[in-house]
Structure 1
Amino acid sequence: MIRRRAFEAAQPPPARPIDENPARRVEAKYLHLWATSMRDLPFINPALSVEAIGFRRYGSGDRSMADPATDDNAGDWIGAIITPWLIGLLLLPGGGILWSDRRPGDRCHVEFPIGPVEFIADYEPDAELPACQYCPLFAPPSSLSSQAAAQAAATAALAALLTGTGLRGSPGRQPAVERRESSRRAFLRRFAKV
């Protein structure tokens, strides 16, 4: 017997690569969400405001990871978003190898130096940025007391994601599947204490 979803969103059109740094557009999208649908929800953190953090290109088309210090025009966009209801990583299309077109709600694992990280596809045809994929880090971000703490957590998450540093333990002694899951748990747990 094959299980099927009760509802499956339609496949969106292929995402167009973004040429310029998307930080301004990311903030516009989330400010619009804040103003139209999120402001009155009970789980928001009033100490936080909408801010895009650290957007850079990563994952060039030649199947090697681009170094943002030397290669400004290669790869997809990776960065973080801070909002009063969510702090997360965002992946946006930039012409690299990380992005894959997905139905809204679909999950995919994207390989980074820290290991595979799960992203969830989102598509809103009329939004400032129609297609994105996000990985929630804090949802809701109630444990963070200030915008500065949220900025520090988002910056540290991006640094760990892109360099693979900051993991504890000895992953070399674990089977590959355990090592990946352990890395992901350690990655996410590290920021729960900020």
Structure 2
Amino acid sequence: MIRRRAFEAAQPPPARPIDEDPARRVEAKYLRLWTTSMRDLPFVNPALSVEAIGFRRHGSTGESLAGTTSSATGDWIGAVITPWVIGLLLLPGGGSLWSDRRPGDRCHVTFPIGPIEFIADYEPDADLPAYQYCPLFAPPSRFASQIAAQAAATAALDALLKGGASEDPASIPAAGQRESSRRAFLRRFVKT
């Protein structure tokens, strides 16, 4: 028997690349969520507020129009801190990381640290209609302050984009072990 989803979202139109730093748009989106639907939920952390952290381009397609490599190309990767989740966001920027997906679809995007699973979402009327997210801490109840959440989000982005120091291939753990070590790495930054 073949299992099928009871509901499968329609394929959204191709995402438009975002040209400018998306941090303000990310904050506006999550502030709107905070005020309209999340504020009174029992699992929110009142010590945290909405903040976009460290958005930068990554995954350049290699060549700019002038034929030289440009740091102004690539998709946007950054983190968002909210009272209900701290996570990574991937936004279209014209690079090689982004792929259009149906809302709810999961995809693995390869970074220097290894493949990371993102979940696609699409809101046609939003300032950020297409985005992919990867929850890191949900809910972020163990964070005592915004500063601690900022440190964890920054450390996660640095680890994601820089990977580990150059490793001896014999010392690289198997896939399952590497996944566990990533989780252990992120947990080191949660301070109560």
Report the secondary structure of 1:88's partner residue: strand
CA distance in 2, matches of 1:175, 1:183: 9
CA distance in 1, matches of 2:98, 2:58: 10
Q: How does 1:6-155 map to 2 (within 5 A)?
A: 6-62=6-62, 71-155=70-154
Deviation at 1:182, TM superposition (A): 3.9
CA distance in 2, matches of 1:14, 1:164: 30
Aligned to 1:185: 183
Unaligned runs of 5+ in 2: 64-68
- Comparing 177-186 with 85-94, greater Cα deviation is found at 177-186
Please tell me whether the aligned partners of residues 138 and 192 of structure 1 are also in contact (alpha carbons under 8 angstroms): no
Moved over 6 A (4+): none
Report the secondary structure of 2:135's partner residue: strand
Aligned to 2:66: none
Report the secondary structure of 1:134's partner residue: strand
Unaligned runs of 5+ in 1: 64-69
In structure 2, do the counterparts of structure 1 residues 117 and 193 end up closer, same or farther at CA, with 3 Å as the change threshold? farther
Please tell me whether the aligned partners of residues 80 and 89 of structure 1 are also in contact (alpha carbons under 8 angstroms): yes
Number of residue-to-residue matches in the alignment? 187
Aligned to 1:172: 170
In structure 2, do the counterparts of structure 1 residues 171 and 85 end up closer, same or farther at CA, with 3 Å as the change threshold? farther
CA distance in 2, matches of 1:132, 1:41: 24
TM-score (norm 2): 0.88
Please tell me whether the aligned partners of residues 112 and 160 of structure 2 are also in contact (alpha carbons under 8 angstroms): yes
In structure 2, do the counterparts of structure 1 residues 128 and 4 end up closer, same or farther at CA, with 3 Å as the change threshold? same
CA distance in 1, matches of 2:124, 2:158: 31
CA distance in 2, matches of 1:114, 1:5: 32
* Amino acid corresponding to residue 183 of structure 2 in structure 1: R
- Comparing 125-134 with 172-181, greater Cα deviation is found at 172-181
TM-score (norm 1): 0.88
Identity %: 80
Q: Once the two structures are superposed, what CA deviation does each residue of 1:147-180 show, in whole Å capped at 9, x if it has no partner?
A: 10011011010000000138xx987346643354
